[in-house]
Amino acid sequence: MKTTILGLPNSYDFLIKKAVEGFWAGENSENEISKARYKVYNHNSGLQESLDLPVENDFDIYDRLLRTAVNFGLTPKRFGEIKKLEDYLSIPRGKQDAEASPMVKWFNTNYHVVQPEIEKLPELSENWRLKGTDQNKKFALIGPWTFLAYSVNRTNYSKEELFEKLSDEYVKLINGLPNKIIQLEEPSFLTQGLPDFYSKFLEKIKKKVHLHVYFGAVNDFSEKLFKLPVEGFGLDFVDGENNLNLLSHFPKDKILIAGVINGRNVHKISSRNKRTLDSILEKISKEKLYISPSSSLMHVPLSAEGEKVNFSFAVEKIKEINNIKKGAAIYEEVSLEEVELPEKFFYRAGHAYWVSEVPYPTTTIGSFPQTKEVRKKRNLLKEGEISNEEYEQFIKEQIKNCIKKQEELDLDILVHGEFERNDMVQYFAENFEGFTAINGAVQSYGTRYVRPPVITGSIVRKNPVTLKWSKYAQSLTKKPVKGMLTGPVTMVQWSFPREDISKEAQYYEVAKALREEVNDLVKAGIKHIQIDEPAIREGLPIDKSKREHYLKHAINAFRSVFYQVPNQAVIHSHMCFSEFPEIMNAIKQMNVDVLSIEDSKAKGKTANSLKEGGFPASIGLGVYDVHSPRIPEVEEIIKIPLTLNLDPKKIWLNPDCGLKTRGEEAYLQLAKMMEAVKLLREKK
């Protein structure tokens, strides 16, 4: 039995994040980024010295999928020729004369990839060619089928024609590498199927290939998969427990790389992992077996050193794998408890959807720019260097200034800016019992990292969380100020959930705590309340047989947060980076008055899918991209609402997400949005 992993985070000492952000700020050169990447590579290589098969090319300074696209010359024409690092890093951020490429979720994780935009046939780039360094390390590559599944095809070529050309370029790359083994990742077999022509591509490769399919079970295509000409198959036995049932038919001459420990959670190995491994060993000989995490470890923090609780992050998971191999593993006793889920259908009785009195009403999604000063004050409070009174006075000044700026912009529904909040999930977790905060960070996209809390017990609201600041903000203006909450599904999905009860049971626990918060806000006179649920689509199981159960309880738990509020209360929600057609019926059942969406990069397609699907409430259009410092043109903004044949009083205009990561340009972007609104109202 041998050991390996699929990948590691790029977060060591935040060297890459600091170097890239310093480069954007004009403080660093390309050389500083190269140095940072080299240090992270060396650090991660050192972590793998104990493994039988280390991996490389498993991380990038921004995004692996984007790097793969540039490797094959598949970049949008609007960015010109990609010659320098500045050109590469402009693709996800955009330039004033070129909009950023779209971002989407990586399967059902909270990691966002930059979507490749295919405008020509692929061709291996010598300048940006991916290069291996060590023949004894396997070289990790996102496979061509998964690459195409995540791409936007703007050519006249079919997917099959593109695959034929792209796979030939993959073969050139792979056969030119020094590495003996290639880790080829094709999780899109689960969502897009395994094409008949895939075997021809593999036959041209002169290296040993370990073909990985993670995030689910391969039941539907196992017979075809196991016939492919590769040395071994990587299967996920955590999210794909049903893979255990296929081992009787697993080819005797192939290697199995078994994902036996959870690469996406931080709880230590348990009796469940042991039972899984024991079942595998009944069918697969140790000589033909590698053990590994179920996925790349990029989905967990790097090291649990210094954490208050003995969690298992990437470093610890490597130790666990080695201990399993040695027979020295300590398994915690864990069994799944069956928690009865509510059968009650939570719904606002007699509710009529609220409609604005003005055409094209405006608001923002919630957060405003968090400056260095804001973050510094929060750290000083945490370290005990300023008093709570001093910190609260500072937050009051930030809120007062934010309200003033929104009134100057003439927004219709205001927000308090969320200056007291670190992260939309982390903040609530720190104020609810049952969550444990962590110091370790996980990459969300590019240089953006989050610190997902760990659910370690029953969820209980100790005290009001948002009430004080919402009331204070409302006292500063006659315009309505939204109460801002994170929804129950997102709270669980963006945390590391418990493994002893179902996620659905945890949704309802969080929902009960949030319901108490909503009721307090309503009693305090807060008329508009936004309950964000960007993770509802993300949480949709890849296994279609599990989707009905998931959606039933995800939507019901969400509705249970506000089903008791009076009809005059206006419930908003926000969903971003989501494709709605697959869950349209569920979205229509959300029972919200206003649903804000990310639609700037989709050019109105998302809103149109809602309209055509019969969505009954108002739609908040995300009319510009907040992940880019680019200032949008008024003409771009007005195009999106004008494509919708809807009542202008049911079309809201807003940024496509929160403004936390923006600088002062956020106010210039909002000014452009309000300029567009003025034009729209004049056209009406």
* Residues belonging to the active site: 627
The contacts of residue 660 (CB under 8 Å, 6+ apart) are 367, 368, 369, 370, 418
CA angle 37, 43, 47 (to 5 degrees): 140
Run of H or E residues at 468: helix 467-475
Q: Are strands 432-436 and 454-461 parallel, antiparallel or unpaired?
A: antiparallel
The number of angstroms, rounded, from the C-alpha of 189 to the middle of its chain's C-alpha atoms is: 20
Q: What is the DSSP string of 143-175?
A: -HHHHHHTSEE-SSS-HHHHHHHHHHHHHHHHH
What are the beta bridge partners of residue 592?
none
Tell me if residue 485 falls in helix, strand or coil: strand
Sheet with 255-261, edge to edge strand ranges? 2-3, 289-293, 255-261, 232-236, 208-213, 181-185, 138-142, 55-56
Going from the C-alpha of 537 to that of each of 8, 156, 382, 453, 545, the distances in angstroms are 26, 30, 35, 20, 16
**Strand duo 152-153 + 528-532: pairing:** unpaired
- The HSE-up count of residue 281 (CA atoms within 13 Å, CB side) is 13
What one-character-per-residue DSSP string does 317-334 give?
HHHHHHHHHHT----B--
- Inter-axis angle of helices 388-409 and 372-382, nearest 10: 160
CA atoms of 141 and 207, how far apart (whole Å): 13
* 521 vs 473: CA distance, rounded Å: 12
Question: Any idea what DSSP says for residue 113?
Answer: E
Going by DSSP bridges, is the β-strand pair 181-185/208-213 parallel, antiparallel, or unpaired?
A: parallel
Structure tokens at 50: 């104990």
Residue 349's contacts (CB-CB under 8 Å, 6 or more residues apart) are none
Q: What is the DSSP string of 663-674?
A: -THHHHHHHHHH
